[in-house]
Amino acid sequence: MQTSWTHTTVLLGEAVDALLGADASTQSAEPVFVDATFGRGGHSRLILSRLAADARLIAFDKDLDALAEAARITDPRFSIRHEGFSHLSELPPASVAGVLLDLGISSPQVDNPARGFSFRSNGPLDMRMDTTRGVSVAEWLSTAEVDTLTEVIREYGEERFAGPIAKAIVARRQARGPLVSTAELAQLVADTVKTREPGKDPATRTFQAFRIFINAELEELQQALEASLHVLQPGGRLVVISFHSLEDRIVKQFIAKHAKEVFDRRAPFAAPHVMQFKALGRVKPSDAEIAANPRARSAIMRVAERTSQAAPEQRP
């Protein structure tokens, strides 16, 4: 009998309110919204319940289980693409009234040992969001060298013991063959990392690093944010929910960069590059939401609105 894993959507009402909260007068007829990370459909279902009859919702997801869940939605206004959210760039310019990016992995992905995301239960060391493409963490670890492993663990896991962990992985491979299960990796890290913050498993940062790397998560996030500049209409909203500092830093810096006029010091009399986003603020889960769903505790939602200013014409 297959276990049914449940998922509680973080910042559900707040995210949909922010996405749909733009002035209706700024939106075109038959507005298009994007849920760029469908997950288990919590945001999409609430969005659909509040959309006008002539609106559309396009979702993206790489996960086959997410696609199966999306197939249960029969609303003709809804469609989903089996692609990562970097493919947002394929939508027509200025065609979208709002983009939502929920960057957290879903509870069923974490709780299902077969996916290999969690150190809490044993399973194959996979961690791919899309199991039809790419290589698993186990396959990558079977050949990765110490320098590469160290860089990945340090940069994506912010792990101060990156070097010793990398050396231990390669030593284990040379002595007894490559790691193939989550339990093996978690134990190796626990044996290597002798100190850790109270209440945090020693393997937390390493598992995060490998998941981010194998799915190119930060690179895809940067691509999707840049794409949002081109696909959002004036007045359209960008809503991003992140769950760790690496993601949030990218989102914060992106919005800040495009939320101001930029003057070219080399051409002091030239028109500035106009502001492309207006930052609308940051939202964190309430104490009540965190008490009901502890996985929400690290979430940060940032909201920005596409400005109506046009880029200045290029002059010869």
DSSP 8-class letter at 260? S
Bridge-based pairing of strands 96-102 and 78-81 is unpaired
DSSP 8-class letter at 25? G
Per-residue pLDDT of the chain (316 residues; tens, 9 = 90+): 344 556 788 999 999 999 998 544 445 678 999 999 999 899 999 999 999 999 999 999 999 999 999 999 999 999 999 999 999 999 999 999 999 999 988 777 777 888 888 888 899 999 999 999 999 999 999 999 999 999 999 999 999 999 999 999 999 999 999 999 999 999 999 999 977 777 788 999 999 999 999 999 999 999 999 999 999 999 999 999 999 999 999 999 999 999 986 555 565 655 556 779 999 999 999 999 999 998 899 999 999 999 975 443 333 3
Half-sphere exposure of residue 226: CA atoms within 13 angstroms, side-chain side: 10
**Which helix (H) or strand (E) element contains residue 57?**
strand 56-60
Q: Centre a 10 Å sphere on the Cβ of residue 180 and count the other Cβ atoms it contains.
A: 17
Name the phi and psi angles at 300, rounded to 5.
-135, 130
* Farthest CA pair distance, the chain: 71
Q: How far apart are CA 11 and CA 298, in angstroms?
A: 11
Q: How far apart are CA 168 and CA 154, in angstroms?
A: 15
Predicted local distance difference test score (pLDDT) of residue 267: 58
In the chain the domains, ranked by start, together with CATH numbers, are 12-107+217-306 (3.40.50.150), 130-214 (1.10.150.170)
Predicted local distance difference test score (pLDDT) of residue 282: 95
Predicted local distance difference test score (pLDDT) of residue 7: 72
Place of tokens 């194959």: 124
Predicted local distance difference test score (pLDDT) of residue 211: 95
The whole-model pTM stands at 0.88
Predicted local distance difference test score (pLDDT) of residue 316: 37
Cβ atoms of 212 and 244 within 8 Å: the answer is no
Q: Centre a 10 Å sphere on the Cβ of residue 131 and count the other Cβ atoms it contains.
A: 16
Predicted local distance difference test score (pLDDT) of residue 194: 79
- Residue 89 tokens read as 């760039």
Q: Centre a 10 Å sphere on the Cβ of residue 302 and count the other Cβ atoms it contains.
A: 22
Cβ atoms of 154 and 162 within 8 Å: the answer is yes
Cβ atoms of 278 and 305 within 8 Å: the answer is yes
Cβ atoms of 140 and 152 within 8 Å: the answer is no
* CA-to-CA separations, 136 to 115, 126, 127, 202, in angstroms, rounded: 10, 4, 6, 22
* CA-to-CA separations, 247 to 106, 134, 253, in angstroms, rounded: 16, 22, 10
Q: What is the DSSP string of 70-98?
A: HTT---TTEEEESS-GGGGGGSPTT-EEE
